[in-house]
């Protein structure tokens, strides 16, 4: 076999049509071997003798895609000083573009003896670990282009590759649960009819399935346990050839783009699957432990953990920052994704101890001409000190607005003193974002997400029911701000079922009509249930999958959701690019009368009314004549005006319509208690809202009223 010196950049295995260049960073290694594996896992070791700036490299002419490989790294094994090099462990390339197989629970994966953790274990892990695969980077993208939806025009749909498609009868069985299933016309047609503009896929980076879960008949279903930041998760590929999932992922993105749907990836750059000091040696730990992981300053045998997973990546390390930036650029440039949602993003901002929006991570993101131009969504918290950072991220970033979720849940379950904050959240959370020069679209609004109750369960359970997870119901959030509407779980009581349906629609209506960017969790559009389990991270079964055999009430809810999304997308008054001018976020009147707030009597809300603890009803006027949108011919067109009536009280409330319509007339376009309601009303008339309900009225044009 010919071995040429090769180049130190780019890192990883890169096939150029004639051969493959291999490059691995390790500042602590004394020697590195490239290990090539055949189908029977027979190993050929090639010493890498070329080293530049701590990058070990070689070029192998003629080596083609499909080749399995790994590395063995020689160097200090001194955990007390933070070094864990162990050549007995075959290590996964941190830059692997594809990964073959999974780890098992064999003791050889660990560098210590189970019987005596102080005793070194040098058993070979080759047959029990994951292997990197050389991939063909060439793909026919045709005329693919990013849809480029503006944030204010976006409706995001959070989904799991397998959960969304596993039981869809319109998809061939052999494709279900894969990237090909997402790309299937049945899935794309469903997403298009729903009206979403972007699908946010839960982790698709290669992750590790925890052996302690597998031993209990469970698995790591969600995938927040990354080991390969360049490789698509191999179990989501439908092909049998190692590495074929790369082309399949690209084909999925291309198909979604053809349908004008963006692809946002949920990415986990805050930690890896190697866990704490007792975890397996799979990749980073054995390559350069102290360069990749944040260690306890006075005890470098242990990991500084702000993620709850055992380790955190070292965000002041050039190697880590390069890894993350190279990964992000790869997924944008080579895989054509349109944005990222960063899991536990506060950890990424911890260059030292505190969360710092001036950290090197943000500097690198903001100056990068590729990454800075895609959608950047932060989950703005972690479990470390000062980790809750909603509103604290810099410009360019949007955030999962946890305060929106909590406020909307509290308002509709009838908590006291929620009106002022409800007004702030409904109008885009200016109190969180405006002072830092950000816009309403900085707020990714959500009521539910993968983590927690589904929307159906939010109105059906007061308590979590996670016994199936095998942790004695101790896992998952205990304070869910939910309300079961009168009884816990399933019931035959028609009044309770009707109330739950109303509450579900109230949540959907609030979500889609609020300023900001709405995010819908998959299945909430029809009422998917997890039977009260609010932490299905380990449930790869019907409990967490979408059901496609819908009841009449579920189909009705699905139709309601479609109409809501269409209403939002048709009217810019619900998706403003800028904040209201004035004190609208506190319930005051906008300087330009873009928004006005009324009590049920049709009078402007007074300050004392905002502070009434028992107040649970209000009326919002959105002035369509104060906002214009450019049509297809470049002409400025005014929007319609709307009245939004909210009653979160436990009894009916009479609303007197204020004098705000140019034509003096209004027509109901949305009623969470009555789908058939399209009644007309005039200013000064009374509209009675049942308990726990929402009504939306649109101004009737003069010609229509006549």
Question: What is the sign of the dihedral through the CA atoms of 528, 533, 534 and 538?
Answer: negative
Strands across the sheet containing 55-61: 12-15, 19-25, 55-61, 50-52
Residue 630 φ/ψ, nearest 5 degrees? -85, 130
Q: Are 59 and 83 in contact (CB under 8 A)?
A: no
**Distance from C-alpha of 359 to C-alpha of 513, rounded to nearest angstrom:** 35
Structure tokens at 113: 């003896």
Closest CA relative to residue 325, chosen from 309, 340, 307: 340
**Beta bridge mates, 422:** none
659 catalytic? Reply is: no
Query: Three-class SS of residue 145?
Result: coil
Cα distance from N-terminal residue to C-terminal residue, the chain: 87
Structure tokens at 307: 């993620």
**Distance from C-alpha of 542 to C-alpha of 551, rounded to nearest angstrom:** 16
Burial 223-250 (b: 16+ CB within 10 A, else e): bbbbbbbbbbbbbbbbeeebbbbbbbbb
**Beta bridge mates, 548:** none
**Distance from C-alpha of 682 to C-alpha of 93, rounded to nearest angstrom:** 69
Contacts of 421 (CB under 8 A, 6+ apart): 403, 407
**Distance from C-alpha of 383 to C-alpha of 660, rounded to nearest angstrom:** 48
**Distance from C-alpha of 323 to C-alpha of 291, rounded to nearest angstrom:** 11
379 catalytic? Reply is: yes
Strand intervals (E) in 198-252: 198-201, 205-207, 226-232
Report the 10 Å Cβ neighbour count for 172.
13
Which of 266, 288, 379, 524 is catalytic? The answer is 379
Which single residue is written with the structure tokens 């009449």?
552
The CB-based long-range contact list for 601-605 (8 Å cut-off, 24+ gap) reads 601/656, 602/655, 602/656, 602/657, 602/658, 602/684, 603/658
Which of 43, 274, 326, 343 is catalytic? The answer is 343
Indicate which residues carry an active-site annotation. Answer: 343, 379
């Amino acid at each position: 076999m010919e071995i040429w010196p090769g180049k130190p950049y780019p890192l990883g295995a890169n096939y150029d049509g004639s051969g493959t260049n291999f490059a691995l960073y390790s500042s602590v290694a004394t020697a590195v071997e490239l290990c090539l594996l055949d189908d029977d896992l027979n190993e050929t070791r090639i010493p890498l003798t070329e080293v530049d700036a701590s990058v070990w490299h070689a070029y192998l002419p003629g080596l083609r895609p499909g080749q399995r490989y790994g590395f063995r790294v020689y160097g200090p094994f001194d955990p007390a000083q933070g070094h864990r090099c162990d050549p007995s462990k075959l290590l996964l390339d941190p830059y692997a573009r594809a990964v073959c197989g999974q780890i098992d629970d064999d003791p050889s994966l660990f560098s210590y003896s189970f019987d005596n953790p102080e005793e070194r274990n040098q058993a070979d892990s080759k047959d029990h670990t994951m292997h990197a695969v050389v991939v063909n980077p060439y793909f026919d993208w045709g005329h693919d282009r990013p849809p480029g939806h503006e944030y204010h025009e976006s409706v995001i749909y959070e989904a799991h590759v397998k959960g969304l498609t596993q039981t869809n009868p319109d998809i061939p069985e052999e494709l279900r649960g894969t990237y090909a299933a997402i790309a299937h016309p049945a899935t794309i047609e469903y997403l298009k009819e729903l009206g979403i503009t972007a699908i946010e896929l839960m982790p698709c980076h290669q992750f590790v399935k925890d052996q302690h879960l597998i031993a209990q008949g469970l698995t790591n279903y969600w995938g927040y346990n990354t080991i390969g930041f360049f490789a698509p998760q191999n179990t989501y590929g439908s092909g049998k050839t190692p590495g074929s999932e790369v082309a399949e992922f690209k084909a999925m993105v291309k198909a979604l783009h053809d349908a004008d749907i963006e692809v946002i990836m949920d990415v986990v750059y805050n930690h890896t699957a190697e866990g704490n000091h007792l975890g397996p040696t799979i990749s980073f730990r054995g390559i350069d432990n102290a360069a990749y992981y944040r260690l306890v300053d006075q005890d470098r045998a242990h990991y500084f953990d702000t993620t709850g997973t055992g380790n955190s990546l070292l965000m002041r390390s050039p190697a880590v920052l390069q890894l993350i930036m190279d990964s992000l650029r790869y997924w944008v440039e080579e895989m054509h994704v349109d944005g990222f949602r960063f899991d536990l993003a506060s950890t990424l901002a911890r260059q030292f101890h505190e969360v710092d929006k001036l950290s090197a991570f943000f500097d690198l993101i903001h100056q990068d001409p590729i990454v800075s131009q895609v959608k950047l969504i932060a989950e703005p918290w972690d479990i470390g000190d000062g980790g809750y950072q909603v509103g604290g991220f810099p410009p360019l970033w949007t955030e999962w607005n946890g305060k929106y979720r909590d406020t909307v849940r509290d308002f509709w379950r009838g908590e006291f003193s929620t009106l002022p904050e409800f007004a702030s959240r409904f109008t885009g959370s200016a109190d969180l974002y405006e002072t830092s020069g950000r816009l309403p679209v900085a707020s990714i609004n959500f009521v539910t997400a993968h983590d927690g109750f589904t929307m159906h369960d939010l109105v059906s359970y007061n308590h979590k029911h996670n016994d199936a997870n095998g942790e004695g119901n101790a896992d998952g959030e205990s304070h869910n701000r939910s309300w079961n509407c009168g009884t816990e779980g399933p019931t035959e009581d028609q009044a309770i079922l009707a109330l739950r349906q109303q509450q579900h629609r109230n949540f959907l209506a609030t979500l889609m009509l609020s300023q900001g960017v709405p995010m819908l969790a998959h299945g909430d559009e029809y009422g998917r249930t997890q039977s009260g389990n609010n932490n299905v991270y380990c449930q790869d079964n019907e409990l967490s999958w979408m059901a496609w055999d819908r009841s009449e009430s579920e189909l009705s809810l699905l139709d309601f959701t479609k109409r809501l999304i269409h209403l939002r997308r048709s009217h810019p008054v619900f998706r403003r690019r800028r904040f209201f001018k004035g004190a609208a976020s506190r319930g005051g009147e906008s300087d330009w009368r873009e928004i006005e707030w009324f009590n049920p009597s049709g009078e402007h809300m007074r300050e004392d009314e905002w502070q009434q603890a028992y107040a649970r009803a209000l009326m919002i006027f959105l002035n369509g004549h104060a906002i214009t949108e450019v049509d297809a011919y470049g002409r400025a067109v005014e929007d319609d005006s709307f009245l939004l009536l909210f009653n979160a009280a436990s009894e009916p409330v009479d609303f007197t319509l204020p004098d705000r319509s140019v034509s003096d007339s209004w027509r109901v376009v949305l009623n969470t208690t009555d789908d058939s309601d399209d009644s007309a009303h005039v200013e000064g008339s009374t509209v009675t809202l049942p308990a726990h309900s929402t009504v939306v009225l649109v101004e009737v044009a003069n010609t229509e009223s006549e």
